[in-house]
Amino acid sequence: MSDDSQTKPPENSTEPESQQENNESSQNKALSLAEAQDIVEEVTEDLFDHSFDGIIKAETTEEGGWRTLVELVERSAIPDTQDIIGRYEITLDHSGSVEGYELRERYQRGDMKEEI
Residue 40 near residue 92, CB atoms below 8 Å: yes
Q: Which residues of the chain have pLDDT under 50?
A: 5, 9-10, 13-26
pLDDT value at residue 65: 95
The answer to whether the CB of 50 falls within 8 A of the CB of 86 is yes
In the chain, % of residues over pLDDT 70:
72
How far is Cα of residue 33 from the mean position of the Cα atoms in its chain?
A: 10
Q: Give this prediction's pTM.
A: 0.70
For the chain, the domains span 31-116
Which pLDDT does position 24 carry in this prediction? Answer: 43
| pLDDT per position as a tens digit, 24-50 | 444 567 899 999 999 999 999 889 989
- Which phi and psi angles does 12 have, rounded to 5°? -100, 30
